Amino acid sequence: MAVAILIFFLIILSSTLLHTITIEAQQQRNSSISLGSSLTPTTNSSWLSRSGLYAFGFYPEGNGYAVGVFLAGIPENTIVWTANRDKPPVPSNATLALTSDGRLILQQPQSQDVTYIADISQPAFEASMLDSGNFVLYDSNHTVIWQSFRLPTDTILSGQPLLAGLDLFSSVSGTNHSTGIFRLVMQRDGNLVQYPASAIESQYAYWASNTNQNGDNCSLNLDGDGHLYLLNATSTNIFNLTKGEPPTKEKKIYMMKIDVDGIFRVYSRILDPNANWSILWQSSNDNCHSLGLCGLNGFCVLNDNIADCRCIPGFVYVNPISWASGCMRNFTTESCKTIDGDGNSRYNISPLENTVWDDDSYMVLQLNSRKECEDACLQDCRCEAALYKDGKCRKQRFPLRFGRRSVDDSNVALIKVGNYSSPNTKGVLTDSDHPPKKPKRKQRLDILIIGVSLIAIALMVLAISSVLMYRNHVWVYKKISEKGNAVELGEDAALRTFTFKELEQVTNGFNEELGRGASGTVFKGFTSYNQKDVAVKRLERLLTEGEREFQTEIRVIGRAHHRNLVQMIGYCLDGPNRLLVYEYMRNGSLANFIFTPENRPSWDERIGIALDIARGILYLHEECETQIIHCDIKPQNILMGDHGRAKICDFGLAKLLKPDQTKTFTAMRGTKGYVAPEWHRKLPVTVKVDVYSFGVMLLEIICCRKCLEWSLAEEEAVLEEWVYDCFQAKELHKLLVDKEEVEKKKLERVVKIGLWCIQDDPSLRPSMKKVMLMLEGSVDIPVPPSPTSFLSTI
Ligand SMILES: *[C@@H]1O[C@H](CO)[C@@H](O)[C@H](O)[C@H]1NC(C)=O
Ligand SMILES: *[C@@H]1O[C@H](CO)[C@@H](O)[C@H](O)[C@H]1NC(C)=O
Ligand SMILES: *[C@@H]1O[C@H](CO)[C@@H](O)[C@H](O)[C@H]1NC(C)=O
Ligand SMILES: *[C@@H]1O[C@H](CO)[C@@H](O)[C@H](O)[C@H]1NC(C)=O
Ligand SMILES: *[C@@H]1O[C@H](CO)[C@@H](O)[C@H](O)[C@H]1NC(C)=O
Ligand SMILES: *[C@@H]1O[C@H](CO)[C@@H](O)[C@H](O)[C@H]1NC(C)=O
Ligand SMILES: *[C@@H]1O[C@H](CO)[C@@H](O)[C@H](O)[C@H]1NC(C)=O
Ligand SMILES: *[C@@H]1O[C@H](CO)[C@@H](O)[C@H](O)[C@H]1NC(C)=O
Ligand SMILES: *[C@@H]1O[C@H](CO)[C@@H](O)[C@H](O)[C@H]1NC(C)=O
Ligand SMILES: *[C@@H]1O[C@H](CO)[C@@H](O)[C@H](O)[C@H]1NC(C)=O
Ligand SMILES: *[C@@H]1O[C@H](CO)[C@@H](O)[C@H](O)[C@H]1NC(C)=O
């Protein structure tokens, strides 16, 4: 293994070295360029700065060459400025000349066309490629009459101010430096703002420094230590975007660039040829943040934080290589009639859940249900799509723009599609709808890199965990990201504190017991101050006796708000008593539904429940302020709200309670219940333990039976094994109880998701985000390996 890694790095090293050597050979060194000098793309292709770091001249673009400034001292082709960026590239017989009459021009043989690189009113006397990355023209008095620093494209370098009124436009792609679709402008009013290039109205600004109270003519500046800040007209620092870095032994260079995805980033790099650019700061951590990334009728989806574009149902990419060109309709609208000659409806509605769009409605209706909104659009000839949220139905015409998925937004886009062209209802797309992001070969390399790093990480985890095991016992719970560590007063104002006496009254003397679990006993109560039923949980076997610790944890739990979580209302910390007060869920737990034949929900309802739970867990893992690992996902901990909405309860308790010593999982004859195998192996516990438990529960939801059922035949008793056996034998229908009818493809998809989640190897299990995308049908699901294949290899 180690040998493989070594070889892999050697290959990369040698290819970068080769690259450096070829660059150097083609260039001549001279920082001062005299009249009459010229360059061609193939020989003497650029003028270097004195240190050799920057070069001005030809670089390859498309099938030809473009003229610009780039970093010559490093192997990556980092282009920082392009002349006439929207003109097509020139062929290899073109010439770039500083003519004897003082003009900087680009010429092609036997062509009268001359392109001016610098627009100057007086002749230049001399040119120079400076070590700052600025290409300048001087007059005879050595006064600068033109400089590339004043005409930035998508990048500014240290010492290059973005003056009031100037703007940067992103490039089309990493290899096409023409003007792209995002803009960063240093407005004259002092505000630094990002817009989609197609819309300059302030409502479409997707990022702003909000510094317009600081007077006119501010400028954006980047210092030699990576410090990015705004200066006002009298050179006072009014806003810091980044802090400067402390000086290091190796010299570092910095640049700020508005990237192809519309986010602007500060990059740093040491000059070692084997180093890479690294991101020092970025204007957003959300890669779908930029408005219009996916073009018209497309929407952006985050896939493990990588932006991915999709077309709305019934649409395909105009140009699969370029997302920005958007999506076009793939059905013809011959007639506006909603019913054809045979009385069949011509159009259907295909919904896209949890998406946000630019609202460009021609009519807004107040309607009570989504169904009414669908009907209103179907019956309206002009309506091509409708946005439904909070009782408002906004009828739209195409194009829909600035779309993205947002798990937190309940808006649903209802797209009218031709009846014949829409086999899907959830915005499921076939592979052909996805533009290929990278050439296949590169993907292979990616897989190789990921593979190698996974193995490396696995080895590291193994090593680290054995050290940890030695020093500590098992990590019951791990907080990974904690933004803002100080618990601020007032933030948990929504949480009410109760005295023990009050709760005695609320529960009528702990009279009505709702349930008893590992974490404590739950009683029904009624709060008279707001006339609400509540559930009061009396905690037992507490880990943290201290009041401060308890309060800190409670605040973390109390701050988690999501429609798929049972909301905590308050708590009691009174002497030795520790109680939690939750909203009351009259319908009981999911176990009550799926394991009781009379209550059993339909297939579609069950999938809805699974999605709800996945959303809730995703929120706990990735979206709430402090990451929460539930550690005890099971049907008994899912409560059912009104309208069949599933809500997770008991989250955050793992941190408060002692692990139950009486349960010996290992005694269960190799079966695992809901508990991920890493618990037994004393490996560090990560969010993936919840994914595992979710997977087991998902199989239960599919099959409507418990994961361990000893009354069944031996081969069926352990659900996980039984499901995998049926999956391998392609006999999935056996899994459904009472001959339930479910489309084979749908069933197979969900079973595959379940099998991925219960992989023994935590790194093979998908993230909750991925699980959600798979459940929604927006990503393909590969064939899962045997869940226990990891065990047999170690
Ligand atoms: C460098 O520029 C100077 C004038 O500034 C010129 O005399 C000299 O010939 C140039 N050297 C090369 C190698 O072009
Ligand atoms: C390229 O530069 C070398 C010296 O650096 C010079 O001898 C040669 O004539 C130049 N070629 C052209 C085509 O300008
Ligand atoms: C770069 O993109 C622009 C706009 O999409 C396009 O017109 C141009 O042909 C592209 N240039 C190259 C070299 O591909
Ligand atoms: C220059 O190159 C272009 C494209 O390669 C070609 O069409 C053209 O004929 C060439 N011109 C001369 C004078 O060789
Ligand atoms: C150079 O400076 C002199 C004296 O300051 C001035 O007369 C002359 O016009 C300047 N030349 C140019 C090209 O600006
Ligand atoms: C720049 O900011 C300083 C400090 O806030 C202030 O005194 C000065 O007047 C400002 N200059 C302008 C032109 O607004
Ligand atoms: C800002 O710059 C413009 C154009 O250069 C100038 O007319 C204006 O007076 C400047 N405003 C301030 C406050 O400096
Ligand atoms: C920005 O940071 C510098 C130190 O790096 C500090 O002197 C300056 O006051 C800060 N500016 C603002 C507006 O906070
Ligand atoms: C730079 O990136 C390459 C691949 O992108 C990687 O192999 C190499 O290890 C990186 N170097 C450093 C110093 O991070
Ligand atoms: C729409 O797309 C599907 C598959 O992507 C294709 O089979 C069908 O022919 C297309 N329909 C039209 C009208 O272009
Ligand atoms: C769609 O059209 C087909 C035939 O054109 C018809 O059989 C079917 O019922 C229609 N579907 C709906 C939902 O109206």
3-state secondary structure string across 44-96: CCEEECCCCCEEEEEEEECCEEEEEEEECCCCCCEEEEECCCCCCCECCCCEE
Q: Choose, from 632, 650, 690, 761, the residue flagged as catalytic.
A: 632
715 lines ligand 7 (CB under 6 A): no
Which one of 20, 78, 276, 278 would you pick to mutate in the ligand 9 pocket, going by the greatest count of ligand atoms within 8 A of its CB?
A: 276
CA distances 471 to 2, 341, 400, 475, Å, are 28, 77, 57, 11
User: Residue 155 in contact with residue 68, Cβ under 8 Å?
Assistant: no
What is d(CA 794, CA 778) in angstroms, rounded to the nearest whole number?
Answer: 34
Give phi and psi for 341, each to the nearest 5. -55, -35
Active site residue 632: yes
Helices (H), 620-735: 678-681, 688-703, 714-717, 719-728
Q: Where are the domains of the chain?
A: 29-149, 298-430, 487-584, 589-794
Q: pLDDT, tens digit, for every residue of 285-321?
A: 999 999 999 988 999 998 878 888 999 988 888 887 7
Q: Is the pLDDT of residue 29 over 60?
A: no
What is d(CA 93, CA 41) in angstroms, rounded to the nearest whole number?
Answer: 7
Above pLDDT 90, what percent of the chain?
45
38 lines ligand 1 (CB under 6 A): no
Task: Give the amino acid at 479.
Answer: K
278 lines ligand 5 (CB under 6 A): no
Q: pLDDT, tens digit, for every residue of 218-246?
A: 999 999 999 999 999 999 999 999 998 99
336 lines ligand 9 (CB under 6 A): no
Q: pLDDT, tens digit, for every residue of 350-406?
A: 999 999 999 888 888 899 899 999 999 988 877 889 999 999 999 988 889 899 998
**Counting ligands in written order, which one lies closest to the CA of residue 418?**
11
Q: Is the pLDDT of residue 58 over 90?
A: yes
Count helices and strands in the chain by DSSP H and E runs: 13, 43
More confident site: 469 or 87: 87
Rounded to the nearest angstrom, the gap between the alpha carbon of residue 557 and the centroid of all alpha carbons in its chain is 24
Angle at 352 between CA 349 and CA 355, to 5 degrees: 140
C-alpha 782 to ligand 10 mean position (Å):
25
**Counting ligands in written order, which one lies closest to the CA of residue 89?**
3
Q: Which atom of ligand 10 is nearest to 432's Cα?
A: 5
Which one of 421, 428, 432 would you pick to mutate in the ligand 10 pocket, going by the greatest count of ligand atoms within 8 A of its CB?
A: 421
27 lines ligand 10 (CB under 6 A): no
C-alpha 255 to ligand 10 mean position (Å):
45
Q: Where residue 332 falls among pLDDT bands split at 50, 70, 90?
A: low
537 is in an annotated binding site: yes
pLDDT, mean of residues 766-776:
90
C-alpha 56 to ligand 1 mean position (Å):
15
Question: What is the fold, at CATH topology level, of the domain defined by 29-149?
Answer: Agglutinin, subunit A (2.90.10)
Q: pLDDT, tens digit, for every residue of 482-535?
A: 222 222 333 344 678 888 998 999 998 998 988 887 678 899 999 887 778 899
576 lines ligand 4 (CB under 6 A): no
User: Residue 87 in contact with residue 102, Cβ under 8 Å?
Assistant: no
**Counting ligands in written order, which one lies closest to the CA of residue 39?**
2
> Which has the closest alpha carbon to 470: 682, 660, 658, 655?
682
Angle at 490 between CA 489 and CA 495, to 5 degrees: 110
More confident site: 194 or 8: 194
Options 1.10.510.10, 3.40.50.11540, 1.10.260.40, 3.40.190.10; which CATH number does 589-794 get? Answer: 1.10.510.10
**Which H or E element spans position 496?**
strand 496-498
C-alpha 120 to ligand 1 mean position (Å):
23
* pLDDT of the residue at 289: 93
The overall average pLDDT reported for the chain is 81
* pLDDT of the residue at 278: 93
Question: What is the fold, at CATH topology level, of the domain defined by 487-584?
Answer: Phosphorylase Kinase; domain 1 (3.30.200)
3-state secondary structure of 376: helix
C-alpha 55 to ligand 1 mean position (Å):
15
Q: Where residue 420 falls among pLDDT bands split at 50, 70, 90?
A: low
Q: Where residue 424 falls among pLDDT bands split at 50, 70, 90?
A: very low
C-alpha 245 to ligand 8 mean position (Å):
14
15 lines ligand 9 (CB under 6 A): no
Q: Which atom of ligand 2 is nearest to 43's Cα?
A: 13
C-alpha 344 to ligand 11 mean position (Å):
5
Tokens of 423: 């086999």
Q: Where residue 61 falls among pLDDT bands split at 50, 70, 90?
A: very high
What is d(CA 682, CA 415) in angstroms, rounded to the nearest whole number?
Answer: 50
What pTM did the predictor assign? 0.58
Residue with CA nearest ligand 2 atom 6 = 44
Q: Is the pLDDT of residue 20 over 50?
A: no
Pocket of ligand 8 (CB under 6 A): 229, 237-240
236 lines ligand 6 (CB under 6 A): yes
CB atoms within 10 A of CB 453: 12
Residue with CA nearest ligand 5 atom 8 = 141
